[in-house]
Amino acid sequence: MTILGLARDSYGRAWGVRAQGVERGGLRRVAMANACANAFGRVGMTVKRDASGSRGGVPRRSTRRTPRAMWHAFGASPRCELELCSVRKSRVTRECVRGLEVCRSASAATDASAYEPKYVRSPVPVYVMLPLNVVTNDGRVHEPESLADGLMALKNIGVEGVMIDVWWGIVERAGPRKYDWAAYEEVVGLIKDAGLKVQAVMSFHACGANVGDVLEIPLPDWVLEAGEEDPDLFFTDQYGYRNPECISLWADNARTLAGRTPLEAYKEFMMSFKKKFKKELGTTLTEISVGCGPCGELRYPAYPENKFAQNSSQWRFPGIGEFQCYDKRALVAMARAASKVGHIEWGGSGPHDAGGYCNLPAETGFFRYEGGSWDTEYGLFFLSWYSDQLVKHGDEMLATAKSVFGKTGVQLAIKCAGVHWWYNVKSHPAELTAGYFNCRSGRVVPEQDGYAPIAKICQKYGARLNFTCVEMKDADHPWFYHCGPEGLLRQIRAACARYDVQFAGENALCRFDQEAFNKIIANCAGEGNDEKAWRQGDKLPPMACFTFLRYKADLFNPTAFESFKVFVQRMRDETGLLDTSVGTIDEAEELEVAAEEISAESRVQLEL
């Protein structure tokens, strides 16, 4: 027997394939899994018992992913004697047994044109969100020495990169078109020196009105002054409260910002960013996430906590939130839409019986479980219009970002909100007020997938969709709040899979417990390798990346950091598909490979 194929795994170790009964040329395209040492189940082969009924020491874990290249390699000979071995300084050490029956998986696609997202080939990379105030309100880097040490520590444990908010209210604080990038240049330099990558969020919103906001970063003063002259520049609720967290989407094309429209201001901001970081785009700066609303998410500010404005309307979990369609431009748009469908009486305001921020569904006429007015002709009109306006805004924001960053080699992205409370009731009220027309079928209103239109615009611009709740279980919340983070996450991932959109995950709450990490890893890994099921959304492909919330003092507590370190190693061991690079036996003889082992935690999880 001779080595017929060679590949490196994610640790740089070399692995060879030896086989008998197969022509040498038939294995030239053999592709190895990232963690070959885990088991044959990670290589992408279905292993059955031999004639004696023995598994020969092969782990009990079954195949989870079957790379197309492997089936090309074994396509001509479904039965062969195969051996997987490690290669160290031209010495072959047996790692697995021979005499196995290797059979084709019925679900494995051999057509070279079959659906297979490129990003699923490598282990899911881990990023970490930097603190909200890594750059202070006056444009200085917060504790740069400590930041440099922390970044290097993250790099040393295998973190791929970091996510940073690029705050409009900080960069353009001095006045229109007066951009101060000095602090962000310093931070990007520190990240680059640490060998990490950057996901930059164009944060065209304020900080301080939502869950997890521990400080206040307002919009630029000159924007707030424009809002004083034109109060309808901001989203408005039924009580007339103007929310200064972000500019109303209905003002996107209103020339209210020192002679510019908000879309023009966003574009010029991004163009200035592109000019300043031209050398880093596509190398250090690999992703640009476009802020489309509160918290940088594509949604309405339907549930603001407003910690720094205690006299304003206050939302508390699990309130249903409120519709935000009462500024004059929104009302004009609604009236036009109502006139087009022949019901001018529908265009005067939003629903009159939708309750307030902290109401429960059963306390309202609009969202109640049976006979709610959401399930009427008027409800269908209003909710369709309300969500369509949000999707249109997302389309315009992505089009603007694409015009700026389209040829720079960076990945564009937008983010949706994880509105999981009341997900398991028919009307999905909290999602409806946030702008996602997502509900089960009623008497009048057919079942709606509120996230498919967002996946479509991501597909249109080649953008990635970011979403949270990756660590959550339904059982984490009281049953009577009808929370469904698991079902919500699956629904959005399925929509992305159907439209071939890369999906990136985040955790909603900062947790270091094993249960949360197990859930994250399971979600990131995806389900099987049934490409037809992926296209249909029945099964989920692996995620494109995972971003951990958040870089903070608690993360660097020795116990928490050790737990996080093991998590990063497990993400490397237990997710992704394979690297298809294959070498020759001559290359193997020259390799110097470190005797690095799969983590003990991964061995437990993989039943090794």
Cis peptide before 117 (omega within 30 of 0): no
Q: What is the pLDDT of residues 504-520, one digit of tens each?
A: 999 999 999 999 999 99
The residue from 116, 297, 431, 574 that is catalytic is: 297
Residues in the chain with pLDDT values less than 50: 1-116, 578-597
Mutual angle of helices 377-405 and 328-340, in 10-degree steps = 120
Q: What is the DSSP letter of 291?
A: P
CA distances 134 to 193, 215, 273, 280, 292, Å, are 17, 12, 17, 19, 21
pLDDT for the residue numbered 260: 97
Contact predicate 426/442, CB 8 Å: yes
Catalytic residue list contains 297: yes
Q: Which CATH number fits domain 123-316+389-415+449-574: 3.40.630.40, 3.20.20.80, 1.10.8.50, 3.30.365.10?
A: 3.20.20.80
Q: Residues 99-102: contacts with CB within 8 Å, 24+ apart?
A: 99/50, 99/56, 100/40, 100/47, 100/48, 100/50, 100/56, 100/58, 101/47, 101/48, 101/50, 102/45, 102/46, 102/47, 102/74, 102/78
Scored b (16 or more CB within 10 A) or e, 22-60 reads beeebbeebbbbbbbbbbbbbbbbbbeeeeeeeeeebbe
Q: What is the 3-state secondary structure (H, E, C) of 219-245?
A: CCHHHHHHHHHCHHHEEECCCCCEEEE
What residue type is 392 in one-letter code?
K
pLDDT for the residue numbered 532: 80
User: Which phi and psi (to 5°) does residue 96 adopt?
Assistant: -130, 175
Computed over its alpha carbons, how large is the radius of gyration of the chain? 26
pLDDT for the residue numbered 99: 30
pLDDT for the residue numbered 519: 97
Q: Where are the alpha helices (DSSP H) in 374-428?
A: 377-405
pLDDT for the residue numbered 468: 95
Return the number of other C-beta atoms located less than 10 Å from residue 189's C-beta: 15
At which residue do the structure tokens 């970081």 appear?
277
**Could you tell me where in the chain the CATH 3.20.20.80 domains are found?**
123-316+389-415+449-574
In sequence order, what are the residues at sequence separation of 6 or more whose Cβ sits closer than 8 angstroms to the Cβ of residue 257? 176, 222, 223, 226, 264, 265
Mutual angle of helices 452-461 and 485-498, in 10-degree steps = 40
Beta bridge partners, 93, equal 86
- CA–CA dist 3, 419 (Å, integer): 53
The residue from 160, 322, 506, 527 that is catalytic is: 506
Q: What is the pLDDT of residues 86-136, one digit of tens each?
A: 333 333 333 333 333 333 233 333 333 344 455 556 899 999 999 999 999
Scored b (16 or more CB within 10 A) or e, 333-359 reads bbeebbeeeeeeebbeebbeebbbbbb
What residue type is 120 in one-letter code?
V
User: Which phi and psi (to 5°) does residue 244 adopt?
Assistant: -85, 20
DSSP 3-state of 198: strand
Catalytic residue list contains 95: no
| The model's pTM | 0.78
* Nearest residue to 290 via CA among 174, 171, 185, 416: 416
- CA–CA dist 82, 26 (Å, integer): 13
Chain-centroid distance, C-alpha 225: 35
Q: Where are the alpha helices (DSSP H) in 89-231?
A: 144-156, 168-171, 182-193, 221-229
Return the number of other C-beta atoms located less than 10 Å from residue 146's C-beta: 11
Contact predicate 43/115, CB 8 Å: no
